[in-house]
């Protein structure tokens, strides 16, 4: 069943892709083929292959229970939040928090998780910023 739903989504995606390809604004200068043909070819392959596993699905995988799905969603939310606050909060603090959260959710006691988070953040800062000289997000305190 999973494959059928997935295939359905794949076909919709392919249709959307082909539709988007047809509405590409062409510039007054163009080559013989133009910017639309290749994407449409890809869209067709995408749609046909999706159709193939709608018709011939594999056995469905075991999906995690709802609680676990929620757990995964929270981890994703934490990563998204990290990406958004990184430029404002600065690298060290944001990374320590995000790493601590993930460590905690993967089964480390909270206090230990905070410590691991801080060490992870500091270690990465040392390697990437101090040694390799990459510019990381500065934040209000300069790190």
Partner 1 sequence: MLNTHSFRKGVAGTFVALAMVGGPALAFEPEQPECIAPANPGGGWDFTCRQVGKSLQDQGLIPSTMQVVNLAGGGGGVAFAEVVNKRNDDNDLIVAASSATATRLATGAYPGNTMDQVRWLASVGADYGVIAVAKDSPITSLTELLDQIKADPRSVAVAGGSAVGGWDHLKVLIAAKEYGIDDVRAVKYIAFDGGGEAVTQLLAGSVQAFTGDVSEAKGFVDSGDVKVIAVLAPERLPGEFADMPTAVEQGVNAIGANWRGFYAPKGMSDEAYDYWVAQIGTLYASSEWKDVMANNGLAPLDLQGAAFEEFVSKSVASITELTAEITK
Partner 2 sequence: MDILASLGDGFVVAFTLQNLGLALLGCFLGTIMGALPGLGPSNGVAILIPLAFTLGLPPTPALILLTSVYYGAMYGGRISSILLNIPGDEPALMTTLDGYPMAQQGRAGEALALSGVASFVGAFLATWGLVFLAPQLVKVALLFGPAEYFALFTLAFATLGGIASTNQAKAAFAAALGLGIAMIGVDGQTGVPRFSFGEVHLYDGIDFLVAIVGLFALSEVLVFLEHRGENTGADAAKKVVIGRITPSFALLRHCTPTMLRTSVLGFVAGVLPGAGASLGSFISYSMEKRLVDRNGTFGKGDPRGVAAPEAGNNAAAGGALVPMLALGVPGSGTTAVLLAVLLALNITPGPLLFTQNPDVVWGLIAALFIGNFMLLAMNIPMVGMFTRVLMVPPRILMPIVAMVSFVGIYGISGSSFDLLVMVGFGVMGWVLRKLDVPLVPIILGILLGNAMESNMRRALTISDGDWSALVASPLSIGLWLVALVGFVLPIVFGRVLRQRMALAKLKEEEGEVID
Binding interface with partner 1 (CB under 8 A) = 27-31, 135
Minimum distance from residue 133 beta carbon to partner 2 (Å): 7
| Side-chain-side CA neighbours of residue 3 (13 Å) | 13
In terms of CB distance, is 28 or 65 closer to partner 1?
28
Q: What is the CA radius of gyration of the chain?
A: 23
Binding site for partner 2 (CB under 8 A): 2-3, 6, 10, 17, 20-21, 24-27, 29-35, 38-39, 42-43, 45-46, 48-50, 52-53, 56, 58, 61, 63-64, 68, 71-72, 75-76, 79-80, 82-84, 86-87, 91, 95, 98-99, 102-103, 105-108, 116-117, 120-121, 124, 127-128, 132-137
DSSP string, 1-52: -HHHHHHHHHHHHHHHHHHHHHTPPPPSS--SSTTTHHHHHHHHHHHHHHHH
């Amino acid at each position: 069943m999973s494959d059928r739903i997935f295939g359905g989504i794949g076909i919709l995606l392919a249709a959307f892709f082909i539709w988007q390809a047809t509405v590409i604004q062409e510039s007054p200068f163009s080559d013989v083929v133009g910017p639309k043909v290749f994407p449409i070819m890809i869209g067709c392959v995408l749609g046909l292959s999706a159709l193939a596993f709608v018709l011939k699905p594999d056995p469905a995988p075991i999906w995690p229970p709802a609680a676990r799905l929620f757990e995964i969603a929270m981890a994703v939310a934490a990563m998204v939040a990290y990406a958004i606050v990184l430029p404002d909060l600065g690298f060290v603090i944001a990374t320590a928090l995000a790493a601590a959260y993930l460590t905690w959710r993967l089964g480390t006691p909270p206090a230990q998780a905070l410590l691991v988070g801080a060490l992870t953040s500091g270690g990465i800062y040392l390697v990437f910023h101090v040694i390799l000289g990459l510019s990381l997000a500065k934040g209000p305190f300069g790190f």
